[in-house]
Amino acid sequence: MAGPLPSQLLPDGATCDAAGRLSVAGCDLVELAGRFGTPLIVYDEDHLRERCREASAVFGDGAVVYAAKAFLCRAMARLVAEEGLHLDVATGGELHVALTAGFPPERLVLHGNNKSFDELRAAVDAGVGRIVVDSFDELDLLDALAAERGCRPAVLLRVTPGVEAHTHVYLATGRDDSKFGFTVSTGAAAEAVARARAADSVELVGIHAHIGSQVFRLDSFRRAVAVVAGFANPLGLAELSVGGGLGVAYVTGEEAPTISAWGESVLEAAAEAGVTARLSVEPGRAIVASAAIALYTVGTVKVLPGIRTYVATDGGMSDNPRPVLYGSGYEAFLPRAATAERPRAVSVVGKHCESGDVLVADGWVPEDLAVGDILGIPVAGAYGYSMASNYNKVPRPAVVFVRNGDARPVIRRETFEDLLRLDL
Ligand code: LLP
């Protein structure tokens, strides 16, 4: 038996009428599902903007780099640009979307542990502000690029500080055993600094570290800042990026620090560690996750007495692979009865051809959930659409931004024709 959905899992603009029917930014969710079809991902635009502003307020103008991998489309890139943030793009594809959205290139930061020569060249030609260098092989590529283009891009070196981040092993990136960055403990990081300093091909402006994602514990960030500062301070470089990774609450009972609390903690740790470099951060999830609700239509309800009830939706692991990949938990609820008790234990599954296709393994829903209902999954704004696939040739969902009673489609639903566009 679970109580009603905790309202803190909903976007800021969520309101319920007397009957418990949910609207976001003045848009009725069941009505949106009818208008745009399902699966549908609905983002509260003001919530997104508010999180950008919260981050800028605590860290300062120009110190916040939104991590595009969490959710990117051109509307999102424009929103981030309007809010004055910088943008972390980790591939040529993300770079392309950002540039075609008109994102100011000097506010772009290019990431990636295996950037190709073409990606580096595209970034330099576009005039990206920073490249975060991940390996000696990449320094070789930048030498070659400088020889070809006569460029000298401003770079940060990504280091792995050897910090355990208390998160899922796939999401931990700060430990020594990582594919990312130059390891501090082996001396590789110091060697990279010496090489970059001596090189004509790059201008070394700073150090970067990112310990992992979905991290709840502020002490993990504080420890990382202290360790990275221990390495970076003596170098006297102008910039220090401590990456992203702030976790968010997905289910009842979870509590995550706010962006402001994270910021105060990181800044305090930096001050204590004697950091004088300009500090920046790269939040992704904390900006977008709880801004969105995913809407599905219930197609079948299979009751297995004494075993389990399966509620099958018209989406699944193709639009949100996180439960399958990381065992991530989510809540389910009915937007037509968002304040209702949820006494019925169910597993919310998708329409894909495998048993692992689970969206909510242990969900609770109102007793009267029925075929045809619109089912909502909150906190669906990060790493869902961005990791979506066409498995089983299921078209990817539509995405809408809602604001002041208006719903603006920002990504149209894929069609069966789209499924053929690469097929020769
Ligand atoms: N900076 C760097 C260098 C990163 O690699 C990442 C995330 C971020 C910033 C943003 O981290 P965030 O603030 O969003 O935690 N697919 C996984 C998350 C992978 C994160 C990858 N890197 C998930 O669904 O949980």
Q: What is the 8-class DSSP label of residue 68?
A: G
Cα–Cα separations (whole angstroms), residue 405 to 20, 28, 187, 321? 18, 9, 56, 30
pLDDT of residue 168: 61
pLDDT of residue 324: 96
Asked if the model's pLDDT at residue 164 lies above 80, the reply is: no
Q: pLDDT-based confidence at 260, cuts 50/70/90?
A: very high
Is residue 112 within 6 Å of ligand 1 at its C-beta?
Answer: no
pLDDT of residue 253: 95
pLDDT of residue 175: 73
Is residue 380 within 6 Å of ligand 1 at its C-beta?
Answer: no
pLDDT of residue 177: 86
Angle subtended at Cα 239 by Cα 233 and Cα 244, rounded to the nearest 5 degrees:
100
**How far, in Å, CA of 313 to CA of 380, rounded?**
15
Nearest CA to ligand 1 atom 5: 210
Nearest CA to ligand 1 atom 6: 244
pLDDT of residue 162: 84
pLDDT of residue 163: 78
Find the mean pLDDT for residues 387-393.
Answer: 98
**How far, in Å, CA of 331 to CA of 377, rounded?**
6
Please tell me the pTM assigned to this model.
0.97
Asked if the model's pLDDT at residue 170 lies above 60, the reply is: no
Find the mean pLDDT for residues 225-239.
Answer: 96
> Which is more confident, 34 or 167?
34
pLDDT of residue 12: 98
Atom of ligand 1 nearest to the CA of 243: 1
Is residue 245 within 6 Å of ligand 1 at its C-beta?
Answer: yes
Distance 350 CA to ligand 1 centre (A): 25
Find the mean pLDDT for residues 180-204.
Answer: 97
pLDDT of residue 213: 93
Q: Which of 69, 248, 325 to mutate to test the pocket of ligand 1 (most atoms within 8 A of CB)?
A: 69
Is residue 111 within 6 Å of ligand 1 at its C-beta?
Answer: yes
Asked if the model's pLDDT at residue 41 lies above 80, the reply is: yes
Q: What is the largest CA-CA distance in the chain?
A: 71
Distance 358 CA to ligand 1 centre (A): 22
Helix axes 136-149, 117-126, angle to 10 degrees: 50
353 has catalytic annotation: yes
- For 15, the 3-state DSSP assignment is strand
For residue 15, what are the β-bridge partners?
23
Find the mean pLDDT for residues 137-144.
Answer: 98
Sign of CA dihedral 122, 127, 131, 135: positive
Is residue 67 within 6 Å of ligand 1 at its C-beta?
Answer: yes
Mean pLDDT, the chain, as a whole number? 96
pLDDT of residue 356: 94
Give the pLDDT confidence of 53-97 residue by residue, as tens digits. 999 999 999 999 999 999 999 999 999 999 999 999 999 999 999
Asked if the model's pLDDT at residue 215 lies above 70, the reply is: yes
Is residue 201 within 6 Å of ligand 1 at its C-beta?
Answer: no
Q: pLDDT-based confidence at 42, cuts 50/70/90?
A: very high
Q: Which tokens in the block code for residue 252? A: 């009842």
Asked if the model's pLDDT at residue 418 lies above 80, the reply is: yes
Question: Over the Cα atoms of the chain, what is R_g?
Answer: 22
Asked if the model's pLDDT at residue 187 lies above 70, the reply is: yes
**How far, in Å, CA of 401 to CA of 277, rounded?**
37
**How far, in Å, CA of 107 to CA of 66, rounded?**
10
Find the mean pLDDT for residues 119-139.
Answer: 98
- Catalytic residue, from 16, 27, 151, 353: name it: 353
Nearest CA to ligand 1 atom 16: 383
